């Protein structure tokens, strides 16, 4: 077990390269099994979750390995439909194997998903969508067991109590590309990662239209082929470094990103008083003479991302005035509050809203990460805290950030890893 240690108080300056998107790469890796041919997927980040997905693909019988930031997958013709508990239970995103397994093999047994704990995240929309395509599903002994004789197109509504579901949309899309007829998904998620998945599927020979809108149309085809594809940059990693630049009163230029994917965050940072300059695939984020509190409400894309809520809260802890951060996607996603308060912040929770009273400074302290994005928030807080911050359980960070301490150190942070 490792921890990250930070001695705060240093401004971040310089340039940072944004890695490929984890939330794009995982369903794309799963989608590669829709063909027996080899696919080459580029710009794949080196992360714990990627390693887990490759292990699952190998368990299914595919040949899969990563060379640098390129993954080569050869599914072959002898895939198993069973995704086992020992691997699936460690990563929620592995539920996205349901769609491609059903699409390719017409059957699947996928363990109920695991991952970090940020409140209840049921898979009912996944099952609803697949059942509409003709799939018979039962849940037995902790496994989702699905089978179908022939997939058929359908009209499917995927709206849920907290908006549309990204992974449910992905699962239905991946199954529907090999269904007979046309499938229309209404209230589909519109995140950039789904556009990336649709583009990948189309490069395999699928016919997906409307990705990025709330109505996706899929015309089924008989067979897909292998492809070569490059994953988009990670907008959540980019957003984390944007916040880090402002929080440390710094000046950081982000390279290899897609600025428009972070429009909601950029709007809030400008409202808080930061200065941002975009130029193609680069964005410079600068602190300018004081910050103002802002209110933030998380919403499905293109709204403010729930995956940047915790990081934005770290910024508001040292911004003078009162900020209100409301979580509309996962109302229980506030476990970082108690740890931020250990570092001297003044945050209290009222229902699904966190009331943040800015303080002059944070103090370094030993803190415990509860999930991936909470880990990032604690790292950001440590960058500006007085003294030493020890952040435990950093294996969460390794699920979603590629060498974050190396990137921060290159920008001027005093940060390193130690064995527990």
Last residue of a domain, which of 207, 230, 253? 230
pTM attached to this predicted model: 0.96
Answer whether 211's CB lies under 8 Å from 202's CB: no
Domain-terminating residue out of 172, 204, 230: 230
Q: Looking at the structure, do residues 308 and 296 belong to the same domain, yes or no?
A: yes
* Residues 170 and 185 placed together within one structural domain of the fold: yes
Look up the domain containing 262 and give its range.
2-18+233-419
Let me know: does 363 contact 343? Beta carbons within 8 Å.
yes
Q: How far apart are CA 126 and CA 263, in angstroms?
A: 28
Q: Count Cβ neighbours within 10 Å for each residue of 69-106 and write b for 16 or more, e otherwise.
A: bebebbbeeebebbbbeebbebbbbbbbbbbbbbbbbb
Same domain, 59 and 10: no
Looking at the structure, tell me whether residues 12 and 27 fall in a common domain: no
The catalytic residue positions are 116
Residues 6+ apart with CB under 8 A from 122: none
Question: Rounded to an integer, what distance in angstroms lies between the CA atom of residue 145 and that of residue 125?
Answer: 15
Cα 315 to Cα 291: distance, rounded to the nearest angstrom: 9
Enter the tokens of residue 330.
């996962």
Q: Which string of DSSP letters, residue by residue, matches 344-367?
A: T-EEEEETTEEEEE--S--B--EE
Q: Identify whether the C-beta of residue 212 lies closer than 8 Å to the C-beta of residue 194.
A: yes
d(CA 177, CA 207): 7
Among 176, 205, 230, which residue terminates a domain? 230
**What is the domain-level CATH number for residue 277?**
3.65.10.10
Judge whether 27 and 51 are in contact, CB under 8 Å: no
Task: Per-residue pLDDT tens, the chain, 420 aa: give them.
Answer: 899 999 999 999 999 999 999 999 999 999 999 999 999 999 999 999 999 999 999 999 999 999 999 999 999 999 999 998 888 888 888 899 999 999 999 999 998 875 444 444 578 999 999 999 999 999 999 899 999 999 999 999 999 887 889 999 999 999 999 999 999 999 999 999 999 999 999 999 999 999 999 999 999 999 999 999 999 999 999 999 999 999 999 999 999 999 999 999 999 999 999 999 999 999 999 999 899 999 999 999 999 999 999 999 999 999 999 999 999 998 889 999 999 999 999 999 999 999 999 999 999 999 999 899 999 999 999 999 999 999 999 999 999 999 999 999 999 999 999 998
14 and 31 both lie in a single domain: no
């Amino acid at each position: 077990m490792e921890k990250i240690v930070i001695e705060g108080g240093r401004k971040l300056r310089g340039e940072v390269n944004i890695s490929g998107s984890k939330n794009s790469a995982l369903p794309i890796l799963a989608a590669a099994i829709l063909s027996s041919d080899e696919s080459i997927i580029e710009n794949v980040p080196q992360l714990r979750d990627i390693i887990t997905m490759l292990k699952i693909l190998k368990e299914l019988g595919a040949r899969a390995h990563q060379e640098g930031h390129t993954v080569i997958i050869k599914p072959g013709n002898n895939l198993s439909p069973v995704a086992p508990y020992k691997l699936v239970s460690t990563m929620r995103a592995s539920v996205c194997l349901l769609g491609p397994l059903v699409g390719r093999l017409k059957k699947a047994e996928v363990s109920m998903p695991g991952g970090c704990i940020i409140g209840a995240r049921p898979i009912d929309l996944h099952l609803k969508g697949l059942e509409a395509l003709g799939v018979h599903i039962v849940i037995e002994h902790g496994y989702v067991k699905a089978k179908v004789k022939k997939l058929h197109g359908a009209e499917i509504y995927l709206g849920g109590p907290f908006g549309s579901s990204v992974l449910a949309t992905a699962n239905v899309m991946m199954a529907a590309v090999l269904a007979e007829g046309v499938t229309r998904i209404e209230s589909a998620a519109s995140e950039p990662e789904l556009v990336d998945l649709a583009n990948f599927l189309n490069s395999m020979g699928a016919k997906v239209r409307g990705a990025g809108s709330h109505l996706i149309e899929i015309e089924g085809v008989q067979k897909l082929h292998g492809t070569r594809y490059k994953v988009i940059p990670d907008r959540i990693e980019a957003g984390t470094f944007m916040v880090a630049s402002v929080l440390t009163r710094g000046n950081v230029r982000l390279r290899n990103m897609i600025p428009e994917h972070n429009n909601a965050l950029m709007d809030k940072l400008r409202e808080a008083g930061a200065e941002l300059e975009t130029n193609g695939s680069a964005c410079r984020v600068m602190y300018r003479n004081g910050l103002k509190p802002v209110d933030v409400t998380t919403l499905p894309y293109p709204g403010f991302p729930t995956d940047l809520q915790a990081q934005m809260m770290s910024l508001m802890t040292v911004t003078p005035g009162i900020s209100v951060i409301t979580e509309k996607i996962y109302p229980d996603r506030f476990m970082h509050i108690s740890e931020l308060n250990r570092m001297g912040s003044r945050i209290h929770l009222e229902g699904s809203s966190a009331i943040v009273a800015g303080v002059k400074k944070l103090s370094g302290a030993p803190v415990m990460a509860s999930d991936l994005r909470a880990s990032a928030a604690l790292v950001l807080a440590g960058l500006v805290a007085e003294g030493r911050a020890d952040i435990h359980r950093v294996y969460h960070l390794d699920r979603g950030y590629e060498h974050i301490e190396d990137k921060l150190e290159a920008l001027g942070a005093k940060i390193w890893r130690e064995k527990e």
